[in-house]
Structure 1
Amino acid sequence: MQSFKPYLSLIFFALITGTTFHVAKEALTYFSPSLAGALRFIFATFFLLLFVFITNRKLLKVDRRTLLVFVSLGIIGVFGFNFFFFIGMQKASPMNAAIVIAASPAIAIFLSYFLLNTKVKIQHYLGTLISFLGVALVISDGSVSALVNAFHGEGILPILIAASCWSFYSVGMKKYIPGVSTIQTTAFTALFGTIALLVLTLINGDWNTEFSIIPNSAWLAILYMAGLSTFLGYLCWNFGIQAVGPDKAVIFGNLIPVIAMLTSWVLGETPNVYDLSGALLVIIGIFIVNAKLQWAKFDRRVEVSK
């Protein structure tokens, strides 16, 4: 059962993140995107550092080199992802953004090849392609024109940069701080990313909000995103990355739109045949990437991430 823990953690991350979309609507009714992101990470960072303080205070001590890596990954993975994502979302439609974000596994595999010398198998290409097509099918409802237009819409470049930031964050943990505690990595990268997000909200004036009139439902939405999708979610994601490698882990991110679709189903929106077919393709793609298929080997010189 030990070998399944990283995969269960990655599935849990996708499950929590997929349900967050509906919760985020309540928060974004009263907070700007950048302020909602800053508040989310302020609370999440507090939870993470408190958890470290209670469970293992030794993890609060970090050597200089590791600290520099934490600063870099926090700015790239937390701040960079949110900054470019929010810029892109000002013009890009949710469908366009979701399809572009689904390119993250391909970007991560590319980075893993150059930064980690990870052997790229045919099954990685095949599984990533099938999973991407599944996401595209869920988002576009089988409309080829909608899929083509997604890559020509405004805001696509910032969304692509955001996906690249997240992929580099995932690969960077394996490359630059292998063996470092998951909770320590998550806490410190969240801390420095939060500081950068907070500075951004202060500069753009989003912090000038009448907090006294914000309803409890909006604050509960922020706490849900901070406690579950960020605190627990990031811990599970980082654990999965460290355990199985980014080349195998990042494709689980394609489960997020599938979970979002299933959440809508629970809330009363019946999925169509394209939704269900796309979900099946995503699952098949994830299985192909992570399965041990001997026929897929073509380069024996470099070891796959373990």
Structure 2
Amino acid sequence: MQSIKPYLSLLYFSLTTGVTFHVAKEALSYFSPSLTGALRFVLATILLFLFLLITNRKLLKVDRRSLLAFIFLGIIGVFGFNFFFFIGMKKASPMNAAIVVATSPAIAIFFSYFLLKTRLKFQHYLGTLISFLGVLLVISDGSIDALTNAFHGEGILFILLAATCWSLYSVGLKKYIPEASTIQTTAYTALFGTIGLFILTLINGDWNIEFWAIPNSAWLAILYMSVLTTFLGYLCWNYGIQTVGPDKAVIFGNLIPVVAMLTSWVVGESPNVFDLSGASLVIVGIFIVNAKLRSFRIEQKVEAS
């Protein structure tokens, strides 16, 4: 039974994250993108530091070099990702957004080339190309006009920027703080990313809303993203990576767009042949990128989303 725990943890992360794309839509119906991100991470950050306090208080102390890295990665991976993600989710469909975010491992390969000096092989180029062809197929529905509209007015460009931020964050973990523990990294990057989101909400005046009039469904959406996706999800993902390794864990990450698609089906948004074909290409592309990969090691910690 012990050996199945990390796989169940990874499966939990994939399931909750896949559903998050739909849950985010409910929260964004009442909160601004920046406020949605801030509310999500305020609670999650508190829970992460409580967990850190209970499990290993020594990890609350960080040196100056690690602190600067945490600030940079928090701005990129938490603030940047959530800023672009929630703006994109205002218009993008949950299914399309999940498929675009699924390209993160392929994007990370190229960041690793510049930051980690990873040697790129033919499989990296091929897998990335196939993944992006899958994305184009999904958002175009077979139409060039639809493709143009998707990038200019349907939020897909912002989702792609979010995926890029997450990819840079993932590679940055390996580059700048490879010795830091996963819970310490998660807690501190969440803290500084949350501060950035909070400052943005003050600048935008996002708090000037009637909170008492917000329906319970929106608050439940925030609670879901904070506790189930961010706090528990991150812990499960990190535990799975530490136990079985990133090569096997990434396979579960590929389940996220599948879960998002199935959730769309359940709520009445049936995927068409272009959605199914595109999602298949994305997953195949990621498998090709990671096939027999030994020199590239990234602890991919995701979204969200």
Q: Judge which range, 189-198 or 263-272, deviates more.
A: 263-272
Tell me which residue corresponds to 1:203. Answer: 203
Aligned length: 296
Distance 1:209 1:158 in 2: 25
Match for 2:143: what amino acid? S
* Shift in CA distance, 304/269, structure 1 to aligned 2, threshold 3 Å: closer
Is the Cα contact below 8 Å between 2:106 and 2:286 reproduced in 1?
no
Tell me which residue corresponds to 1:20. Answer: 20
Tell me which residue corresponds to 1:226. Answer: 226
* Shift in CA distance, 93/303, structure 1 to aligned 2, threshold 3 Å: closer
Structure 2 gap segments, 5+ residues each: 299-305
Tell me which residue corresponds to 1:299. Answer: none
Tell me which residue corresponds to 1:47. Answer: 47
Distance 2:137 2:55 in 1: 44
Cα shift readout 1:237-283 (whole Å, capped 9, x = no counterpart): 556777856x9977976654332111112334433333332333233
Is the Cα contact below 8 Å between 1:66 and 1:177 reproduced in 2?
yes
Q: Judge which range, 150-159 or 263-272, deviates more.
A: 150-159
Distance 1:259 1:229 in 2: 14
Distance 1:210 1:49 in 2: 29
Distance 2:66 2:269 in 1: 46
Given the two structures, how large is their TM-score scaled by the length of structure 2? 0.80
Is the Cα contact below 8 Å between 2:81 and 2:165 reproduced in 1?
yes
Q: Judge which range, 276-285 or 49-58, deviates more.
A: 276-285
Tell me which residue corresponds to 2:191. Answer: 191
Q: Within the alignment, does 1:304 sit opposite 2:293 as a pair?
A: no
* Shift in CA distance, 86/287, structure 1 to aligned 2, threshold 3 Å: closer
Given the two structures, how large is their TM-score scaled by the length of structure 1? 0.80
Tell me which residue corresponds to 2:289. Answer: 289
Distance 2:87 2:216 in 1: 27
Q: Judge which range, 139-148 or 205-214, deviates more.
A: 139-148
Tell me which residue corresponds to 1:175. Answer: 175
Match for 2:282: what amino acid? V
Distance 2:106 2:248 in 1: 11
Match for 1:126: what amino acid? L
> 1:107 Cα shift?
3.1
* Shift in CA distance, 152/219, structure 1 to aligned 2, threshold 3 Å: closer
Tell me which residue corresponds to 2:302. Answer: none
* Shift in CA distance, 151/108, structure 1 to aligned 2, threshold 3 Å: same
Match for 1:25: what amino acid? K
Distance 1:244 1:115 in 2: 21
Is the Cα contact below 8 Å between 2:37 and 2:83 reproduced in 1?
no
* Shift in CA distance, 232/127, structure 1 to aligned 2, threshold 3 Å: farther
Distance 2:97 2:262 in 1: 19
RMSD: 3.5
Is the Cα contact below 8 Å between 1:138 and 1:258 reproduced in 2?
no
Is the Cα contact below 8 Å between 1:85 and 1:158 reproduced in 2?
yes
Match for 2:220: what amino acid? L
Q: Judge which range, 229-238 or 217-226, deviates more.
A: 229-238
Distance 1:188 1:214 in 2: 30
